[in-house]
Chains A and B, each alone.
Chain A
């Protein structure tokens, strides 16, 4: 008897071991994003976490300072490569602010639509890849099929699936092709079917719910103090969405809802993202209707500072020939000054702070990267949690290396 009791005592004895440091990344199969975690572990419990970013630093801001204002646009494609159009848009809108340009109505509708397609692609990647990294292959394939359809629409619109380079200073590259609305409506129907299929295998799935519910929680006050924006903040119950709160483009004229969560765990983040995809589809449909209603029209501002003159005039008029020559060799001159423009990207507030000295080269282009800033409070979400909770938390922060490290 005495012997049995001592074994029982052993079982209940505190068996704390030495803390160990686990090095995870920078290229780990269960993270989509190149980042290194130094994790201090007590058994399987996370004691502390140091995040090391910068593996994809390519000197975005330095490169922007050495080209023309136009040459920076393709670099913005390579920030968040899931939603390149949104980065194009943020940058071009900031430069337009410096130039005090007002874009034509048709251009604004096209930009709104293209931006929502990009947001959809981003959320599909986030939700799809989250399943993959939690070891569920099938829902990932539903998500990726829907993303391919979205990217097919982007390709029809601007000629490239991913690095779209669609938005121009004062306009867009070109109008949508003939027959685009019909194709888009067909695709939207199919994307909705895929979202339904995805929902039916994931949202109520015990394995998925158990990994997400109650993990990665952080209070909304802490999120505000850490400047976290986007779906993470909305999942914690703060309805901050720049599309509603500081409307730009045509967001004041379209009907859509801003979903919010309650406790701000990973499951709330997932639900918010899924609902935002449905809202994006709604916005795209309204944009299609509006584009059909207003009919053909200019998609670029008629301003010789930023747009090339019509070809017919270039070939026949001396002034326009010179203007074209200068526009191609020098690029637009932007008046001296500074401007900050923020838009609601898929991850939160994407801001561009641009400074001009009045020349054809940007003096400074600062990108306020939501990926980096949303990642910062991650240790607070995970202290005391299990190592396995790191994966879904990191998935729903959706850090994109290209934008985080620039």
Chain B
């Protein structure tokens, strides 16, 4: 029997064939790599399509592939992990994001849970989310210079001392 992850990927391919760049199921994690401009459309489809019902955005994060061996493609990836609480299955959606301009559409209108997760990605990777209602740093402070999870941010870099802000 075909597993639920493959069913989800097939339905996605049938409905939005030109939005999906590639699919795989490495280690059993069904994954769809999608065009960055279509990511929100794909997410909305996975949420609403009958029989899929991915009603929860478990996680949203990014990865920086600067210097990753044998890779060509955009520098960043924004990674969405979805969970269907009805069918108890997961799917991963990834969208490549170039270095310039490092931006992608916000998923807040699909799931409000994306709000803080996108703020964290903006904070640590410097990826901007278009139409985000409140794109501020989440974990670091306003005066912090740079985005520490970028591979070209050295771990040892010192930050300017910030006095009390009143």
Using CB atoms and an 8 Å cutoff, list the residues of chain A in contact with chain B. 53-54, 57, 59, 61-63, 66, 97-98, 100, 224-227, 238, 240, 245-246, 336-340, 342, 349, 351, 353, 355, 357-358, 363-364, 366, 368, 372-373, 376-377, 405-406
Count how many chain B residues have C-beta atoms less than 8 Å from C-beta atoms of the other chain.
38
> B155, A246: Cβ atoms under 8 Å?
no
> A61, B149: Cβ atoms under 8 Å?
yes
Total number of residue pairs linking A and B with CB closer than 8 Å: 96
B74 within 8 A of A: no
User: Which of B55, B59, B81 contacts A224 (CB under 8 A)?
Assistant: B55
B101 within 8 A of A: no
User: Which of B90, B115, B117, B149 contacts A340 (CB under 8 A)?
Assistant: B90
> A62, B155: Cβ atoms under 8 Å?
yes
Bound-state Cα–Cα, A336 to B71, Å: 12
> A54, B140: Cβ atoms under 8 Å?
yes
Nearest-neighbor residue (CB-CB) of B79 within chain A: A353
> A226, B69: Cβ atoms under 8 Å?
no
> B58, A368: Cβ atoms under 8 Å?
yes
Least distance between A308 CB and chain B CB atoms (Å): 25
Least distance between A306 CB and chain B CB atoms (Å): 16
User: Which of B59, B124, B149 contacts A351 (CB under 8 A)?
Assistant: B59
Residues in A whose Cβ lies below 8 Å from that of B139: 53-54, 57, 405-406
> B88, A246: Cβ atoms under 8 Å?
yes
Least distance between B134 CB and chain A CB atoms (Å): 9
Least distance between A298 CB and chain B CB atoms (Å): 24
Residues in A whose Cβ lies below 8 Å from that of B88: 245-246
Bound-state Cα–Cα, A141 to B137, Å: 39
B97 within 8 A of A: no
> A364, B29: Cβ atoms under 8 Å?
no
> A342, B58: Cβ atoms under 8 Å?
yes
> A368, B81: Cβ atoms under 8 Å?
yes
Using CB atoms and an 8 Å cutoff, list the residues of chain B in contact with chain A. 26-27, 29, 31, 55-59, 61, 63-64, 68-69, 79, 81, 83, 85, 88, 90, 92, 111-113, 115-117, 120, 124, 137-141, 148-149, 153, 155
Least distance between B150 CB and chain A CB atoms (Å): 10
Residues in A whose Cβ lies below 8 Å from that of B112: 225-226, 376-377
Bound-state Cα–Cα, A54 to B59, Å: 18
Bound-state Cα–Cα, A246 to B29, Å: 13
12 pairs, A vs B, C-beta closer than 8 Å: A54-B138, A54-B140, A62-B155, A66-B155, A227-B111, A227-B113, A238-B85, A351-B59, A357-B69, A368-B81, A372-B116, A373-B116
> A100, B113: Cβ atoms under 8 Å?
no
> B27, A337: Cβ atoms under 8 Å?
yes
Least distance between B109 CB and chain A CB atoms (Å): 11
Bound-state Cα–Cα, A339 to B79, Å: 12
Besides A54-B137, A62-B149, A224-B55, 5 more A-B contacts (Cβ < 8 Å) are A59-B155, A97-B27, A100-B27, A338-B26, A405-B139
Bound-state Cα–Cα, A353 to B153, Å: 21
Residues in A whose Cβ lies below 8 Å from that of B113: 225-227, 373, 376
> B61, A366: Cβ atoms under 8 Å?
yes
Nearest-neighbor residue (CB-CB) of A359 within chain B: B69
Nearest-neighbor residue (CB-CB) of B61 within chain A: A366
Residues in B whose Cβ lies below 8 Å from that of A66: 155
Residues in B whose Cβ lies below 8 Å from that of A224: 55-56, 85
> B69, A358: Cβ atoms under 8 Å?
yes
Bound-state Cα–Cα, A61 to B140, Å: 14
